[in-house]
Amino acid sequence: MTHRVTATIILMTAMLMDLMDSTITNVALPAISTDLGATPTQLEWTLVGYVVAFATLLITGGRLGDIYGRKRIFLVGVIGFTCASVFASLAWSGNALITARIIQGAFAGVMVPQVLSSVQVMYAPEERGPVFGLIGSLNALGVITGLLLGGWLVTANLFGTGWRSIFLINVPVGVVLTVMAFLCIPESRSEHPLRLDLTGSALGATAVVLLVLPLTEGRAAGWAWWIWALLIAAPFAIVTFIWQQHHRATGAGAQLLPLPLFRIRSFSSGLLVQILASIGHGGFALILLFHMQAAFHFTSFEAGLTLLPIAIGSILGTPVAMLLMKKIGKWSVCLGGIMQAAAFVWVMITLEHTGTTLNGWSLLPPFALAGVGMMVLIMPQTSITLAEIPTTEAGAASGTLTTFGQVGMVFGIALSGTAYFGATGDSGQNVTAGLWVIVIAYTVSGLAALTMPTRSSQEQPSPDPNEPG
């Protein structure tokens, strides 16, 4: 039991490291621009490059764990991520930093799917809920901690390293994780002999890039014609990928993404909730962080600190979520979506009545409610989504779930950002319009939870959908 708990902590720490690095760079952009002479486009790509590479490799990364061993691939991901962090800290130009960030995102895409798939293998179905819930709480904690830690590190200028310290901090963490993972995480892989679907990997990566890249670049590029061209091409790439997966000769789960998984109601309905809720997750941090700095003149650190109650609420909401998950199952997911929607309506009302000044304390109650609601939604949603997935497909399923979450967050950033800034502008402050996108996303995600199965269908894992009979 102790060994299993230690392994879980190692996995969660690695996931937290990835989540922090998705936002820690944001607050350092001005310092990076001054030091490296980076252009606005280069600064943007230090953020976009990470996201695109991460989203692109998730499904392939999950399948690599199924084939070659989840512990082995996790170690590859951690070591690669750590080395890329060293590269980023030594960057001598904007292009060098972009390259390092792309490599970081790629190795994170290999590392992160092993977290959920390893938990799925280590724990019995009835034990997974609390663990998935704790992992889910990292979403809010990682994003906000990244903002706070990044702001502090840049300001503190530790050992004269300036902005480079935001990447150097990953090095000792990565070294410790590598050693501990080697010693404590049990190895696991698919029981069936599998081959990596290289064609599927290429097609899947192309589809993700065609979808994620224009959404991340759209507003900054003024929704230029090439943005729309990529978005129009994305559905065709997705259809081609699905067609290739359908027609691939499958031995025993040889597909990159086993399509029979989508016949499992808990999995397909959970993915729907995942992408809708993630639209809300991706949107609120962008517009609220910007609005508090632009409209109320908060520093980056102060804006991040104001959002801290969301992370605290998610941690404190864990026991509530555990209780509700046991008592009401999928209805907890529904309740969580409604709680988050109500919380951001509360935020909207507070901002509308604030005028030109804002006391951060006035946002503490609605942000805390949002954090609790996040846990009430995520904890049972993740558990239900993966409950009936056979362990042979754990990596592919985990990678797919994370991919849907990442795509949803990108959609949330694009939709809420466009509502807030305007279709092409960058000076708008229509915070109400941006928040309505978030409120609607959370509301619909809560309603989508009604398509999920009841708790009784999760008691035993379903048989491998690729098995005959």
Q: Which helix (H) or strand (E) holds 297?
A: none
Indicate whether 439 pLDDT > 90. yes
Q: Please give the radius of gyration of the chain, using alpha carbons only, rounded to the nearest integer.
A: 21
* C-alpha 175, offset from chain centre: 23
**pTM for the complete prediction?**
0.85
Inform me whether the pLDDT recorded for 459 exceeds 70.
no
Cα(340)–Cα(38) distance, rounded to whole angstroms? 38
Amino acid 86: pLDDT = 96
Rounded CA-CA distance 103/91 in Å is 13
Query: Between helices 40-68 and 70-89, what is the axis angle to 10°?
Result: 160
Domain boundaries 2-454, corresponding CATH code: 1.20.1250.20
Q: How far is CA 281 from the centre of its chain?
A: 9
Cβ atoms of 156 and 31 within 8 Å: the answer is no
Could you give the CA distance from residue 358 to residue 14 in angstroms, rounded to a whole number? 36
223: Cα separation from own chain's centroid? 24
Helix-strand-coil split of the chain, %, nearest 5: 80, 0, 20
Mean confidence (pLDDT) of the chain: 85
pLDDT at res. 126: 73
Q: How far is CA 428 from the centre of its chain?
A: 27
pLDDT of residue 337: 95
362 φ, ψ to 5°? -70, -20
Mean pLDDT of 137-154: 78
* Structure confidence by residue, pLDDT tens digits, 357-416: 777 788 899 999 999 999 899 888 888 888 888 877 888 888 899 889 888 988 888 888
Q: What is the DSSP string of 299-360?
A: -HHHHHHHTHHHHHHHHHTHHHHHHHHHHHTHHHHHHHHHHHHHHHHHHHHHHHTTTT---G
C-alpha angle with apex 141: 322 to 384, nearest 5 degrees?
35
pLDDT higher than threshold 90 for residue 164: yes
Question: Token pair of 372, please?
Answer: 């609790």
Does 180 or 289 have the greater pLDDT score? 180
Q: Which of 133-142, 235-244, 283-292, 375-384 has the lowest mean pLDDT?
A: 133-142
Structure tokens at 420: 């807030």
% of the chain with per-residue pLDDT over 90: 36
| Residue 422 confidence (pLDDT) above 80 | no
Q: Please, which residues have CB within 8 angstroms of residue 327's CB and are 6 or more apart in sequence?
A: none
Q: Residue 418: which residues within 8 A CB-CB, separation 6 or more?
A: 218, 219
Question: Is residue 460 pLDDT above 70, yes or no?
Answer: no
